[in-house]
Amino acid sequence: MTTWYRRMKARRADEGHRAATPLELLFDLCFVVAVASAAAKLHHALSENHIGAGVLGYLLVFFAIWWAWLNFTWFASAYDTDDVLYRLTTLVQIGGVLVLAAGVPRAFDESDYSVITLGYVVMRLAMVAQWLRAAKSDPERRTCARRYALGITLVQIGWVARLFLPENLFLVGFLVMAVAELAVPVWAERAGQTTWHPHHIVERYGLFTLIVLGESILAATGAIGAALDAGHASFALISLAGAGLVIVFSMWWLYFDYPAHDLLDTLKRAITWGYGHYLVFASVAAVGAGLEVAVDYDLHVAHLPTTAAGLATTVPVAVFLLVLWLLQVRPRPGTARWAFPVAAALVLAVTFTPAPIHAVAVVLAALVVLVLAGRRGIKDDEVSST
């Protein structure tokens, strides 16, 4: 039974059977709205050949989505008390997520980030309240918790102030505030590392990866379904759908074939791995937008060149492969790991082929087979050595 209030003691980093809670799952699901809105706007911007503005807007909006999710995830791994006050504070954060999602269209269409900033500040100030609770209940890490609360508060003041900057300073202001956000955990954790749980963190990141993979499938399926409903059924469209599924399935396979909990053995490596997932999540969600662009191009409703239409999918896939290689594959033994950067280069190269989506599917499927063969080879060597 849930109690109204309990001391927010730090949970053990080696706690057994540490798994995601129903509240954390609800938190993740509410982020689907924001991710879907950002990806949809990226799709429309690319199809209309507004590539620069679309990509920039997507990266800026996705940073706010990802960073709010990341901060709650790491905090909950160390201090989830699951009392009524904790649940209510988390629900306030979820409300902020929905406000942020509502502001995504205005950010893309009018470069108006006021609603997004409002939702973001709501989420972050609720996070400040959580850290102040932790500071009160955990004397050993009180300085760390207070640093988090202070740093987050100051940065939120900066985000609000940025809304009043001249338009020509918008991007500079955003970059400055983003760097400040990234610096807060590094500064705070130096005062006493929080007791986040490696297995729990990896599970949480995996769940969010599933969410963005599902968003890519939903986006591509919706585009193809709309085309079929409009009477545009053809072998080319069906084969494009199949290729898109192979791409997403292969990305899933490659990501989850390399568990990372044993890699989070130092604070530096944990921060690098955690921060690097911004590009993992953003690239996976962008693949869905790219597949939608491919459907638009085949239906002759997109207004961008052939090469650009291919790049809408090949670039995020290549980014995914390279970042996954750096974060989870390269630190491990095995010759197959060097196939990832080669596959990324091939994915970019097939942009200039007549059927880039199908070619990407072939490259990724071949990479999965190569990884499995390499793993089989390692197991065979282990057996022979015994």
The top-scoring range by mean pLDDT among 1-10, 104-113, 352-361 is: 352-361
Residue 118 has pLDDT above 90, yes or no: yes
- Pick the range with the lowest mean pLDDT from 21-25, 244-248, 376-380: 376-380
Tens of pLDDT along 267-315?
899 999 999 999 999 999 999 999 999 999 988 888 899 999 999 999 9
DSSP assignment string, 200-242? HHHHHHHHHHHHHHHHHHHHHHHHHHHHHHTT---HHHHHHHH
Q: What is the pLDDT of residues 13-50, one digit of tens each?
A: 888 888 899 999 999 998 888 999 999 999 999 999 99
Torsional sign, CA 274, 280, 285, 286 = positive
What is the rounded CA–CA span in Å between residue 142 and residue 132?
A: 9
Query: Residue type at 362?
Result: V
Q: In the prediction, which pLDDT does 227 show?
A: 76
Average pLDDT score over residue span 142-161: 96
pLDDT at 386: 45
Of the listed ranges 10-24, 214-228, 249-263, the least confidently predicted one is 214-228
Q: How confident is the model at residue 259 (pLDDT cuts 50, 70, 90)?
A: confident
Task: Report the distance separating Cα 13 and Cα 221, nearest Å.
Answer: 40
Give the dihedral sign, CA 131/268/182/203: negative
User: Residue 156 corresponds to which amino acid?
Assistant: Q
State how far the Cα of 279 lies from the Cα of 66, in Å rounded to an integer: 10
pLDDT of residue 382: 46
| Residue with tokens 């939120």, as numbered in its chain | 156
- Give the contacts of 8 (CB within 8 A, at least 6 positions apart): 79, 81, 86, 130, 133, 134, 136, 137, 138
Residue 181, class by beta-carbon neighbours within 10 Å (0-12 exposed, 13-18 middle, 19+ buried)? Answer: buried
- pLDDT, average across residues 217-221: 85
End-to-end CA distance of the chain, in Å?
51
- pTM for the whole structure: 0.92
Token readout for 268 is 């530096």
Closest CA to 79 of 29, 31, 30, 127: 127
Give pLDDT, residue 384: 46
Residue 281, number of CB atoms within 10 A of its CB: 24
Average pLDDT, the chain: 91
Query: Residue 377: its pLDDT value, please?
Result: 54
Please give the Cα distance from 307 to 314 (Å, whole number): 10
* Count of Cβ atoms closer than 10 Å to residue 165 Cβ: 12
- Higher pLDDT residue, 58 or 237? 58
pLDDT attached to residue 207: 94
Q: Give residue 335's pLDDT.
A: 61
Does the pLDDT value for residue 378 go beyond 80?
no
Q: Taking residues 3-11, what's their average pLDDT? A: 83
CA separation for the pair 178, 158 (Å, rounded): 10
Residue 161's CB: how many other CB atoms inside 10 A? 11
Report, as an integer, the average pLDDT of 94-98.
94
Report the pLDDT value the prediction gives residue 314, as an integer from 0 to 100.
98
DSSP 8-state secondary structure symbol assigned to residue 74 = H
Q: What percentage of the chain exceeds 70 in pLDDT?
A: 96
**303 three-class SS:** coil
Q: Residue 277, exposed/middle/buried by CB under 10 A (0-12, 13-18, 19+)?
A: buried
Mean local confidence (pLDDT), 165-190: 95
- What's at 276, amino acid-wise? G
Q: Which structure tokens are listed for 236?
A: 């080319």
